[in-house]
Structure 1
Amino acid sequence: MAAIHAAAREAFAEQGYHATSVRDIARRAGVSMAALYYHYEGKQELLFAVLRESVEDYFVTCEHALAAAPDDPAAHLDALVGATVRYRVRRRAESTLNLIEVRNLEPRYRKLLDARVDTATRMWAGIIDDGVRAGVFATAWPDDARRAVIAMCNAIADWYRPEGAVTVDELVERYVGLARTIVACS
């Protein structure tokens, strides 16, 4: 199934959901159509599987980073920004798919992914709200700050290239600084 996921991810990222056929995914994966249909009902279920796998990896990445961080809102923000930046760099194709192709999911699949997105939103909001309550973040607009930080981190998948002049560690440092500025971290 890993080969099928990789082929679907690659095809969706290169061509988009609508331009990708199940036959193309099977060919890229080096499996027969029958083998692909044995594991998946069709292209819709494959898109959901690829997106769900990516979202779950994001949560694991964030949970590990938060577990390793000291117990204070600024450290949690730093950890979450760092984990998100590293994730967006490491899984650029999936990040783009999650931001763009999710609109092509049928309602039953979309509802499942939306629930995970809501969980991520609450994770970010909780950290920022904790920081405001503790007096560590002075932003007057915590919801806007959350949206701004998430948006800037999500955009990395569109423009960042590992072979460029900025290393991932430098990018994390910059984005942590930007996030702290947005939330008015003291």
Structure 2
Amino acid sequence: MSEEAERKVRKRAAPKFIDRETVISAVLEMFSTRGFHGASMRQIAAAASTSLSNLYNYFESKDELLEFVLENTARALADQLEAAVAEAGDDPADQLEAAVRSYVDFIVDQPQASTVGITEFRYLQGANRAEVVAQRDRTEATFRRAIEAGAASGAFSVADIGVATRGTVTLCNSMSTWYRPDGRLSRSELADLQADLVLGLVRAQRRAVPGQPSAGAR
């Protein structure tokens, strides 16, 4: 075989470059449909349209892939909620409603990421788990600050800030387990219901008005 022919063979056999978005999309597809234990590195590589060897060039195991995807998902959610609250103004009820509506937006826009973030988190271990927890703590802190401010101002009536915060986060998280893109409720209807439930949970002086989010809520 000539040198040129050998070069062409090597080029055809060379692993394809994969970018960040491609990896995330492939992992989410596999983990959301097959679960962490049901998906293989080979299947993930195929979903990313790359070779198994190339995938191993970037990630040594499924554990690393799970951490990579969940950390990105948790960071994106925290960023989105913080931005929504920053735009909501100083009223605690507006801030809390904005955070809830932003969470609904995230789930509707990224249902696979939301599902995997809830169902597969339990498989993270050690340092991989710690980084994801740090990002999740940012989301919890966003809700907690709004609830604390509302309780301090008298806008909310809660017996325990921590319990109210965990209840709010749990309510928002749970939507990932039952939301379906082809469901009967629109995005705005889902946001109205979730916002009303959370404001009820903290016994806010006002409740969410269907179809009319607060001035700062998106």
Q: TM-score band (shorter)?
A: over 0.9
Q: Partner residue of 1:169?
A: 188
Q: TM-score, normalised by structure 1?
A: 0.93
Identity %: 32
The answer on 1:101 being equivalent to 2:120 is yes
The answer on 1:129 being equivalent to 2:148 is yes
Letter matched to residue 135 of structure 1: G
8 Å CA contact retained: 2:78, 2:138: no
The answer on 1:69 being equivalent to 2:88 is yes
How many residue pairs get matched? 186
TM-superposed deviation, 1:98: 1.4
Q: Which of 173, 194, 198 is matched with 1:154 structurally?
A: 173
Q: Distance in 2 between matches of 1:162 and 1:139?
A: 34
TM-superposed deviation, 1:51: 0.6
Q: Specify the SS of the correspondent of 1:20.
A: coil
Q: TM-score, normalised by structure 2?
A: 0.80
TM-superposed deviation, 1:73: 0.5
Higher helix share: 1
Letter matched to residue 75 of structure 1: D
Q: Partner residue of 1:143?
A: 162
Letter matched to residue 32 of structure 1: S
Letter matched to residue 87 of structure 1: F
Q: Partner residue of 1:29?
A: 48
| Alignment deviations for residues 68-106 of structure 1 (CA, whole Å, 9 cap, x no partner) | 112111110011111111112222221221122111112
TM-superposed deviation, 1:22: 0.6
Letter matched to residue 190 of structure 2: L
8 Å CA contact retained: 1:88, 1:154: no
Q: Distance in 2 between matches of 1:50 and 1:98?
A: 8
8 Å CA contact retained: 2:84, 2:98: yes
